[in-house]
Amino acid sequence: MSDTEPPESAASSLRTPIVAVLGHVDHGKTSLLDKVRGSAVIEGEAGAITQHIGATAVPLDVISGIAGDLVDPDDFDLPGLLFIDTPGHHSFTTLRSRGGALADIAILVVDVNDGFQPQTEEAIEILAQSQTPFIVAANKVDTVPGWNAEENAPIQKSLERQSDRVRGDVDEKLYEIIGQLSDKGFSADMYWRVQDFQNNVGVVPVSAMTGEGVPDLLTVMMGLSQRYMKEEMAIDVSGPGVGTVLEVKEEKGFGSTIDVVLYDGVVEEDDTIVVGSSGDPIVTDVRALLKPRPLAEIRTESRFEKVDRLKAASGIKIAAPDLDRAMSGAPVRVVRDREIDEVVEEVQAELADIAVDAEEQ
């Protein structure tokens, strides 16, 4: 068993929800992801957050450390959150799993000063169509004139620190966003007033610059997943792996590789896999499973280290013959004890679904 694998207790049969970040250009998607990673690094002991290929895992204990009083870790049994590192709806729409979005949950980032912009509207349509639950991060609250910042504070505590005028200005901007959500058919409110997140969108005021509201954002995402997605997160921990190709890359020393987000089951070295391509699906054997080597260890060595096996949810690079024909967004399935033909048919059917979805968008 590799060091990336927690023991397979009952709790670890619940996988990490996959989170995507969407929103208009320059509204702060990248900064917000960086802040979440940065806060997690400060909070956790070294190695507590794990950098995956194309994704970052933030475990529950790190989230509860960042969230402080907002989270009681005993209330949760999901292992944390897996953030897809590439923000934006292009990656969101190309990353599909069986009949839906690869991401289980999304953060829609909206600049409080700019409100809804064309790409915000597009993102919201995509979220609605794929029925992906989301929350709105009303970003850049620190830019409201007169804002008195307190690094990484929970947002309600920060709001209490502001003058009446600043608070009034922030409220006005937030209510404008809530109005815009309602114009799109979503009933929304400040997250602390939302009781039923299944039918209402929670708005979390944040600053990707000062970290204010980041504790709240993580708490709400965790709460939402725990409450409404626990059943979907129950996976067969030893079942054959299922994932989606993020990217196809030539990698020195490894030949053709695919970066994959695994959302179900397990993949092991030497497993036979079936991968979608523009032609017939590729049937090949896993030569190496690679994850990023911790930064501190990268000198002359490879950027990657090998692992024997990996379970969902995770981001992994797979090296195998013939992968140069693989297609980003296509399904990957481990064959394990089944007939290869059966798995090839499944992959073909999934590819056909994806093609139909792409035409509809």
> Contact positions toward ligand GDP, by CB under 6 A?
23, 25-31, 87, 139-140, 142-143, 207-209
Closest approach of ligand GDP to the CB of residue 106, in Å:
14
Closest approach of ligand GDP to the CB of residue 158, in Å:
12
Nearer to ligand GDP, 147 or 304 (CB): 147
Residue of minimal Cβ distance to ligand GDP: 28
DSSP for 203-261, written as a single string: EEE--TTT-TTHHHHHHHHHHHHHHHHTTTTB--TTSBPEEEEEEEEEETTTEEEEEEE
Nearer to ligand GDP, 149 or 344 (CB): 149
Nearest to 132 by CA among 227, 226, 229: 229
Nearer to ligand GDP, 108 or 262 (CB): 108
Beta strands in the chain (DSSP E): 18-23, 50-51, 55-59, 80-84, 96-97, 100-101, 105-111, 134-139, 188-190, 201-205, 242-251, 255-264, 266-268, 272-275, 282-285, 288-292, 304-307, 309-311, 314-319, 331-334
Nearer to ligand GDP, 107 or 273 (CB): 107
Closest approach of ligand GDP to the CB of residue 21, in Å:
8
Closest approach of ligand GDP to the CB of residue 268, in Å:
36
Closest approach of ligand GDP to the CB of residue 149, in Å:
10
Nearer to ligand GDP, 207 or 256 (CB): 207
Can you tell me the distance from the alpha carbon of 2 to that of 318, in angstroms, rounded to the nearest whole number?
16
